[in-house]
């Protein structure tokens, strides 16, 4: 038998095996939308969100008669313009903001980076229709956009019943100003308008249920954050996992393929009941990767595991409502009842 031919066959078999694995992961990624339980009918739910685009009104005001222009803006944008807006110090502050070179460029670049709010408003409206399904008595917020001056620490602000979006933080990962600010790529990769809805709801839900989260151990952290991700799935069932988690395709595939191994790592190392901040930072907070040995391992892999635990819990306990899940603080009971075993 030709030895070279045998080697070639083995190499081809190995290659095809890898292709099949990659294909399965990719199919899983493409079709990893929510399960049947979360595919609810919202056709009868009418949600009329009030969208207000402050930057569009502010940067186009008549600066020759700024006080009169502000009279109109004060009525339309109370979240931004306080009662004392005619105070000389306030007027000077506003002029400084409007004449700032960076802010002027950010507003100018809105046209090419965002262009229209139609798709963003449609997606947020769909998400809040789902939210109203679960919380029919809750009021819907007013949603503002504005030029934040690249406030990357707070791209989304929740202020009472207002959701305030720094739209300049969603101009795309390659936007030059992000690089000039030396914002790490593991953060700037999420600065895309396709991520606005999950990011908005992550902030919204975290604030709404803040009293029901725990930060005592790694496992409690994972389940707390996993609840948030499950809630985001409940209101955005049409979105793929990679969009909701803000992972790249390869990072999402890594999660699918390494869930069991990573869970084993957590248990063997005794990390589940650890209260070491270093472990929280490594596995639950944004970063370049979870393991320096595997650069595709996302730093927030622990949140994905927490989500999987919560998802299994809800599958095993169909009588539990979304609100009951979110307000349940018995994290040990949730873990046990999930029967999680990747």
- Position 32 scores a pLDDT of 52
Give domain status of residue 8, yes or no. no
Residue 301 has pLDDT above 60, yes or no: yes
Residues 74-86: what's their mean pLDDT?
A: 89
Residues 231 and 176 in one domain: no
Residues 233 and 162 in one domain: no
- The distance in angstroms from the start CA to the end CA of the chain is 43
Residues 179 and 57 in one domain: yes
- Give me the number of domains the chain comprises: 2
- Position 115 scores a pLDDT of 96
Domain that holds residue 171: 50-208
| Banded model confidence at residue 7, pLDDT cuts 50, 70, 90 | very low
The total of other beta-carbon atoms located within 10 Å of residue 82's CB is 10
Residues 191-219: what's their mean pLDDT?
A: 94
Residues 155-166: what's their mean pLDDT?
A: 95
**How many whole angstroms separate alpha carbon 128 and alpha carbon 42?**
10
Residues 232 and 128 in one domain: no
Question: Positive or negative CA dihedral for 197, 200, 202, 208?
Answer: negative
| Banded model confidence at residue 33, pLDDT cuts 50, 70, 90 | low
Residues 252 and 125 in one domain: no
Give domain status of residue 10, yes or no. no
Of 209 and 6, more confident: 209
Give domain status of residue 18, yes or no. no
Give domain status of residue 142, yes or no. yes
Residue 109 has pLDDT above 50, yes or no: yes
Residues 163 and 292 in one domain: no
Residue ending a domain, choose from 174, 208, 242: 208
CA distances from residue 277 to 224, 225, 260, 263 in whole angstroms, order as listed: 16, 15, 23, 19
Give domain status of residue 144, yes or no. yes
Give domain status of residue 43, yes or no. no
Long-range pairs, 318-323, Cβ under 8 A, ≥24: 318/37, 321/134, 322/134, 322/231, 322/234, 323/134, 323/135
Least confidently predicted of 30-44, 48-62, 111-125: 30-44
Q: What is the mean pLDDT of the chain?
A: 88
Residues 226 and 195 in one domain: no
Strand, coil or helix: 165: strand
Residue ending a domain, choose from 169, 192, 208: 208
Residues 217 and 119 in one domain: no
Of 187 and 292, more confident: 187
Tell me the sheet residues that pair with 25. Answer: none
Q: What share of the chain is helix, strand, coil (3-state, %, to 5)?
A: 60, 5, 35
**Each residue's pLDDT tens digit, 194-204:** 999 999 999 99
Structure tokens at 267: 């248990």
**How many whole angstroms separate alpha carbon 82 and alpha carbon 179?**
34
Residues 204 and 99 in one domain: yes
**How many whole angstroms separate alpha carbon 268 and alpha carbon 66?**
65
Report the predicted TM-score, pTM, of the whole model to 2 decimal places: 0.87
Residue 155 has pLDDT above 70, yes or no: yes
**How many whole angstroms separate alpha carbon 77 and alpha carbon 54?**
7
Residues 329 and 241 in one domain: yes
CA angle at 238 for the pair 235 and 242, rounded to the nearest 5°: 95
Strand, coil or helix: 27: helix
Give domain status of residue 44, yes or no. no
- Number of helices (H), then strands (E), belonging to the chain: the values are 16, 4
Residues 202 and 234 in one domain: no
Residues 218 and 150 in one domain: no
Residue ending a domain, choose from 148, 183, 208: 208
Give domain status of residue 268, yes or no. yes
């Amino acid at each position: 038998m030709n030895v070279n031919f045998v080697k070639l066959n083995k190499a081809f078999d190995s290659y095809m095996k890898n292709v099949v694995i990659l294909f399965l992961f990719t199919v899983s990624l493409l079709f990893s939308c929510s399960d049947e339980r979360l595919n609810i009918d919202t056709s009868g739910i009418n949600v009329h969100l009030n969208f207000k685009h402050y930057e569009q009104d502010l940067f186009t005001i008549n600066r020759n008669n700024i006080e009169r222009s502000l009279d109109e803006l004060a009525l339309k944008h109370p979240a931004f313009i306080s009662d004392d807006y005619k105070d000389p110090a306030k007027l000077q502050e506003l002029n400084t903001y409007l004449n700032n070179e960076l802010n002027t460029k950010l507003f100018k670049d809105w046209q090419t980076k965002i262009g229209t709010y139609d798709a963003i408003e449609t997606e947020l409206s769909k998400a809040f229709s789902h939210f109203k399904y679960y919380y029919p008595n809750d009021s819907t917020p007013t949603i503002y956009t504005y030029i934040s001056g690249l406030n990357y620490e707070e791209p989304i602000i929740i202020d009472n019943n207002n959701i305030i979006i720094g739209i300049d933080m969603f101009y795309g990962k390659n936007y030059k100003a992000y690089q000039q600010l030396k914002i790490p790529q593991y953060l700037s990769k999420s600065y895309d308008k396709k991520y606005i809805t999950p990011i908005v709801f992550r902030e919204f839900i975290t604030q709404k249920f803040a009293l029901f989260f725990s930060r005592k151990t790694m496992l409690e952290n994972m389940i707390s954050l996993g609840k948030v991700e499950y809630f985001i799935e409940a209101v955005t069932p049409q979105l793929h996992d990679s969009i909701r988690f803000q992972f790249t395709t390869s990072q999402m595939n890594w999660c699918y393929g390494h869930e069991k191994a990573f869970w084993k790592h957590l248990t063997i190392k005794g990390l589940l009941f650890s209260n070491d901040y270093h472990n929280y930072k490594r596995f639950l907070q944004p970063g370049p990767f979870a393991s320096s040995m595997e650069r595709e391992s996302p730093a927030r892999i622990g949140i994905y595991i927490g989500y999987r635990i919560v998802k299994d819990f809800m599958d095993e306990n169909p009588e539990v409502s979304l609100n009951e899940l979110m307000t349940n603080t018995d994290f040990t009971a949730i873990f046990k009842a999930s029967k999680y075993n990747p």
